[in-house]
Structure 1
Amino acid sequence: MDILLLFFAGVFGGVLNSIAGGGSFITFPALMAVGVPPVIANATNTFASCAGYLSGAWGFRHELSRHRDVLPRTIIVSLMGGMLGAVLLLTTEENDFLTAIPWLLLFATLLFIFGPNINRRLAQGSHAKTSIFTRQILPAAFLLLVSAYGGFFNAGLGIVALGYLSLCGYHDIHLMNGLKLLISSCVSLVAVAIFIWHDSIDWLNGMSVLVGSLAGGYVSAMASKYFARLWIQRFVALSSLLITGYFFIEVYA
């Protein structure tokens, strides 16, 4: 029964990720609901999300190939940040991480709701870079923080990455989506490698979510024809607020 629940949670999460984002708001709580411990559930959710990131990045390979100059730095910094975040997660006490979950979900939820407006403002306020510090060092430092967040807590990584790209002055949404997925792929790959090394992935439950997510990504191609993106975004926002509220009550009540 648990495997079936996780499979359908993965399907639902895969559909949401492909159309509007926010699939981890479904899959991460689902893993915890079937009894997976918080840290293991987070690591398992990262594993289950990784294939979707990789396939998505491959889909944007042509856009990425036209900007080869930024790819090496992006990949290296993303791998470093993902490694730092994953190590931080594994060195965090279970109870401490459980206490942080509602706040992490709230942060990701608010970014999901207000992220598009924030990104537009960042894009409008971006200006030409005039020094090595503002062109290379500062963006690399921000990317390291973004990647560390993703290695520590995968939910909301794509939204945080888009905010970073807007801050760096990117405007082409196709390139931004490609870079977002590249960053997410690198962060998830190195994090999953560390989680495997430390035996922190629930393979059976993770595979259930993974297979469901892949099926959901395929189904979303048909579902997107019948459901307006705006309504799906509103549903994700409402669901994530309810889930966040539940975790606040569960942890602090």
Structure 2
Amino acid sequence: MIPLGDVAFLACAGLLAGVVNALAGGGTLVSFPALLALGYPSLTASVTNAVALWPGYLGGVLGYRGELSGQRRRAAGLSAVAMLGAVAGSALLLFTPHNLFDSLVPWLVAFASLALLAQPWLRARFGGETGRRPDRLVFVGVFLGGCYGAYFNGGMGVLLLAVLGMFLHDNLQRVNAVRAALALAISTVSVVAFSLFGAVRWEAVAIIAPASLVGGLLGSRLARLMSPKVLRGVVVIFGLGVAMALALH
């Protein structure tokens, strides 16, 4: 049995992680340290966290139903590519040493954050969507984002939003809705892989999962109230904060 105080601690962490993931990504940097603080080994905490946050991603997608309307085909196609990347990332985590990749994670998140900051210029420089067909490069970026997101969830939303923002000419709220759908797809692959092959602590999942679902619904509503410029700024700040936390870990 988990002590009542630890239950409340994990529930709060799950709620906040769900909000942060719906807003920008980076909720892992809330819930993962919470699991470490309660004494879970790092790898166990990582796979448990990945499974526990799945409902939060579902809540984010449900909250963005309106923004996904009219672009479900685009979201479905990109989600399929993201899931292929997630399969590769899950295998990388489960079957290969990852010290080198861990050392690169802060730099990857920082790069994604700065790319999002420069998104308007990058989109004008490298082009974007013509009609309803995405640029081919977006599929490469989404595949790599899926690989990264399944390997280490922290900053996944920032990376995905930076990639989508560069190549999709659309309102940032609608692009963020697609980002939420991709994050759910990647998380789904991780849940299946880690449930079958990882050391998941289900008692922690039972606490964090419902809290992250509520947080995901709340976070998507908060994001919808923000202007595109404010939302971009929030995402960049979260992303750079995630990169700094990882670098100092």
For the superposition of Structure 1 and Structure 2, which TM-score range results when normalised by the shorter chain? 0.7 to 0.9
User: Could you say which residue in structure 1 is the equivalent of 2:127?
Assistant: 127
1:41 aligns with 2:42: no
CA distance in structure 1 between the aligned counterparts of 2:30 and 2:235, rounded to whole angstroms: 13
* Alignment partner, residue 88 of structure 1: 92
Secondary structure at the counterpart of residue 181 of structure 2: helix
Secondary structure, in 3 states, of the residue corresponding to 1:154?
Answer: coil
Q: In the aligned structure 1, how far is the partner of 2:179 from the partner of 2:18?
A: 17
How many residues were matched structurally? Answer: 236
Alpha-carbon distance in 2 for matches of 1:143, 1:203: 30
**1:164 aligned residue:** 163
**Distance of 2:218 and 2:108 partners within structure 1:** 29
Corresponding residue number in structure 2 for 1:251: none
The TM-score, its normalising length taken from structure 2, stands at 0.77
- 5+ unaligned residues in a row in structure 2: which ranges? none
1:51 aligned to which of 51, 55, 58: 55
Residue 206 of structure 1 deviates from its aligned partner by 2.4
Q: Structure 1: how far apart are the matches of 2:42 and 2:214?
A: 25
- Higher CA-based Rg: 1
Cα pair 1:106 1:244 within 8 Å, conserved: no
Query: In the alignment, residue 212 of structure 1 is paired with which amino acid?
Result: A
Q: What are the residue-to-residue correspondences of 1:144-183 with 2, within 5 Å?
A: 144-183=143-182
State the SS of the aligned residue for 1:70: helix
- Structure 1 CA distance, aligned partners of 2:150 and 2:197? 14
Q: Is the 2:85–2:144 contact (alpha carbons within 8 Å) kept by the matching residues of 1?
A: yes
Amino acid at match of 2:59: S
Provide TM-score, normalisation by structure 1.
0.76
Deviations 1:176-235 (A, max 9, x none): 01110111111110111011111432211223222332344566669x99xx98997798
Q: Deviations over 1:120-175 (max 9, x none)?
A: 33223242679xxx933x33222211111111111111111111112223332122
Which residue, out of 236, 242, 245, partners 1:243? Answer: 245
CA distance in 2, matches of 1:129, 1:242: 33
For the residue of structure 1 that corresponds to 2:118, the secondary structure is helix
Contact 1:31/1:41 (CA < 8 Å) preserved in 2?
yes
- The Cα shift of 1:39 comes to 2.5
Q: 1:230-253, CA deviations, whole angstroms, 9 ceiling, x for partnerless residues?
A: 997798578646633541xxxxxx
